[in-house]
Each structure stands twice: as C-alpha cells, then as structure tokens.
Structure 1
Amino acid sequence: MNVQIQTVHFDADERLLEHVQKRLDKLKTFHDRITGVEVYLRLENLSQKVRDKVAEIKVFIPKHALFAKHESKVFEESFDEAFDSMVSQIKRQKEKMIV
C-alpha cells in the first residue's frame, strides 16, 4: 500500500504525521486490496484570522477510488472524521464485491 501525505500552506509537526500514519495502517484490516492512499492536510481561509483545517483522504482499490473530506478547527479531528467516513465507504465497497 503506497501512502502519500501532503500538507498545503503549512508544515506538519511530527506528532500529527504519526497520528495520521498510525490510523492509516489500520486501513489494511478493512480491505486487503488497497493499492494506494493519498492524504491532503490543508489550511483554508488564509485571509481570515480563523483558519479551518481540512483533511482529505483518497483510497485507491482496483477499479475504484474512494474520497472523504472533513473540516474543523483541529487537524486531528478533521482527519479522524474523514477517516471514519472512509472506513464506512470501504466496508460498503467490500460488501458490494462479496454480493
């Protein structure tokens, strides 16, 4: 499984990257044919003082690409919400393959 983590408009600290990587390692338990994962962590509304933290996750399975996005005031929360959404999408996709 090829994993790419990209940060846009900021440099992520080691703690955030470890959190993301630890959660992504769990994806293998939900589907064994995941070929790649792309994570984008982005700051939105750069002109305003309050910046929204956006997390986007793309998961590539043969013949399918799944996408989840969430934004909040904390990167960990944004990523966790997007990750939970991605897990449910992966489970639904795997059930469709079985049927």
Structure 2
Amino acid sequence: MNVQIQTVHFDADSKLIDHVSKKIQKLNTFYDRIISVEVFLKLDGIAHQIKDKIAEIKVHIPRQDLFVKHESKSFEESFDLAFDSVVNQIKKTKEKKFQ
C-alpha cells in the first residue's frame, strides 16, 4: 500500500505525521486490496483569524476510489473523523463485493 501525506499552507510536525501514518497503516486490516492512500491536511480560512483544519483522505482500491473530507478546530480531530468515515466506506464496499 502506497501512502502519501501532503500538507497545504503549513508544515506539519512529526507528531501529527506519526499519528496519521499509524492510523493509515490500520486500513489494511479492514481491506487488504488497497492500492494507495492519499492524505491531505489543509488550513482553511487563511484570510480569517480562526482557521479550520481540514483532513481529506483518498483511498484507491481496484475499480473504485473512496473520498472523505472533515474539518474541525484541530488536525487530529479532523483526521480521526475522516478516518472513521473512510473505514465505514471500506467496510460497506467490501460487503457489497462479497455478497
């Protein structure tokens, strides 16, 4: 499984990258045919004082791509919400393929 983590409009610290990497590696336990995963961490509202943190996850599996986007006040929370959503999508996709 190929994993890419990209940050937009900021430089992530190693703690955040480690958190994301560890969680992404768990995706193989839900579906073993994942080709690649792309994670985008973005700052939204650059012009405003309060900046929302956005986490986007793209999962490439054979014949299908899954995409999830969440935003909140912290990257960890945004990523965790997006991760939970993508796990649910993977489980549903796997159930459909094996019915």
Q: How does 1:19-38 map to 2 (within 5 A)?
A: 19-38=19-38
Q: What is the aligned partner in structure 1 of residue 47 from structure 2?
A: 47
- Deviation, 1:12, is 0.1
Q: How does 1:1-99 map to 2 (within 5 A)?
A: 1-99=1-99
Counterpart code for 2:62:
P
- Give 5+ residue unaligned stretches, structure 1: none
Partners in 2 of 1:25 and 1:89 — Cα distance? 16
- Deviation, 1:6, is 0.2
- Give 5+ residue unaligned stretches, structure 2: none
Segments ≥4 residues shifted beyond 4 Å: none
Partners in 1 of 2:2 and 2:72 — Cα distance? 27
- Deviation, 1:65, is 0.0
| TM-score, normalization by structure 1 | 0.99
Cα root mean square deviation, aligned: 0.3
- Deviation, 1:48, is 0.4
| TM-score, normalization by structure 2 | 0.99
- Please state whether the residue corresponding to 2:34 is helix, strand or coil: coil
- Aligned-pair identity (%): 63
Partners in 1 of 2:36 and 2:97 — Cα distance? 18
Paired residues, number: 99
